[in-house]
Amino acid sequence: MQQPDPLIGRRLKQYEIQAVIGRGGMASVYRAFDHHLRRAVAIKVLLPSVAQLPGFLDRFRQEAQLIARLNHPNIIQIYDIDTDPSGISYIVEQLLAGPNLAQLIQTVVSRGQQFTPNEVLVIGQQVAGALDAAHQAGIIHRDVKPDNVIRDSDGRYVLTDFGIARQMDANTNLTEAGMIIGSPEYMAPEQAQGLPLSPATDVYALAIVLYEMIAGRVPFRSTTPIQAVVDHVQTPPPPPSTYRADLPPLVDLVFQRALTKDPQQRYPSTLAFVEDLRRAWLGVGQVQGAAGMPTIPVPPLGGPTPPPAALHDQPTQVWSQAPARPIPPAAYPPPPPPP
């Protein structure tokens, strides 16, 4: 029988912990109620083994302060960070309705369906915008994956979990306490090898996420984390058209550049990558193509290019003739009533 979580019902300052949302390798996330501002929040409680790493709390606090100053609609809002007198270190964040993108992908694949171009491009544009804002502030996320992209109640997709983010000028290694930091299925080759990072590291990870949305799977299905790392370092990824025959050929070219092993040959920004993907998939404008190749003109479509819009307010049929389908409800537990 599973033991009850000792933090449920406990108060950390004005925050009353009410329910578990999820658990990860670095922290547990709880739903809580802020008695001062009378609102629901999320509290991320760091695992003791992580919080006790030398210098970790100081770095984590500095990075949380940087993220809080970004104030971007597609980046998680941070409200507070503190350490309880008993030694519990936690961060208080915006509570998002969910589901996360990993849950959406699982639902779509299990139903034998596919994401439409509109869905992939709109979600990709929102995440790319969040990453670009972080990069402009000198922050590399380092753990971009579907689990860390959560849909809010208004339809926005929000990038979360900057817990292992690093400033670009930080002189730190990728390995801490003998571990590779990041998620192997989405890890750029330079990250897996402990080499210097840049915004191109997040470009690679975002490309893996959008590849998974398009193809219904990641490019490398490895049996172990070590094998996943080896594949990212050594093995060319199969083109996404391998798993989705209706893709225009230029889409493969876009992913060839975004997923190249050399970070200097990738797209210069996440926004540039998603914009090139839009042009390639919809057949509008010009596509930059693979690294080192000249710009490739694409014949325009018969009508005007639709402006970017949020997934909840733009019909899927604008960019695709595929029928729209309902998005599954949030997987989080329903909120308890305020005390």
Q: Which residues are catalytic?
A: 143
H-only helix segments in the chain: 48-51, 56-70, 101-110, 117-136, 189-192, 199-215, 225-234, 249-258, 270-282
Ramachandran class of 200: left when φ > 0, alpha when ψ lies in -120 to 50, beta otherwise: alpha
250 burial level (CB within 10 Å; 0-12, 13-18, 19+): middle
Q: How far is the first Cα of the chain from the last one, in angstroms, to the nearest whole number?
A: 29
Contact yes or no for 24/49 (Cβ under 8 A): no
Cross-strand pairs, 28:
23, 45
Q: How many helices (H) and strands (E) does the chain have?
A: 9, 14
Contact yes or no for 192/233 (Cβ under 8 A): yes
Q: How far is CA 249 from CA 198, 244, 282, in A?
A: 29, 11, 11
Contact yes or no for 216/109 (Cβ under 8 A): yes
DSSP string, 286-300: EE--STTPPPEE-PP
Task: Count CB neighbours of 224 within 10 A.
Answer: 9
Q: Which helix (H) or strand (E) holds 46?
A: strand 39-46
